[in-house]
Amino acid sequence: QVQLVESGGGSVQAGGSLRLSCASSGDTTSSVWMAWFRQTPGKEREGVAAISTGGGRTVYADSVKGRFTISQDKAKNTLYLQMNSLKIEDTAMYYCAAVTWMAYMTGFQALRTEDYNHWGQGTQVTVSS
């Protein structure tokens, strides 16, 4: 089992920056990919950015390319999401997710919600004009 706890959310004006953190504990070595997702009321959860824990390969949603950067600190078991040039439409609850070897399947898609089997509780990001 992997436990995930997000932090770093808050309120910021458009054009500003925030850095989200996701501290993982438990069987952290079993995680294959980790990712950030976001969700607004009435909408489906969408993948924002993902990283392979072994090779560091990254994947981004088109909407955040060039503005967001996902990274990991293995020594601290922490995942980060640096968000720059924030837009009002980035307002959402942001969730950290991990997929472990047990759930990693052929056809895995790094930004597909159903491919992840561990989730944090979320941290709210609000961007205002």
User: Which helix (DSSP H) or strand (DSSP E) does residue 21 occupy?
Assistant: strand 18-26
What are the residue ranges in the chain where pLDDT is below 50? none
Q: Write the DSSP symbol of residue 109.
A: -
**Confidence (pLDDT) at 102:** 82
- Note whether 8 and 21 are within 8 A (CB): yes
**Confidence (pLDDT) at 29:** 84
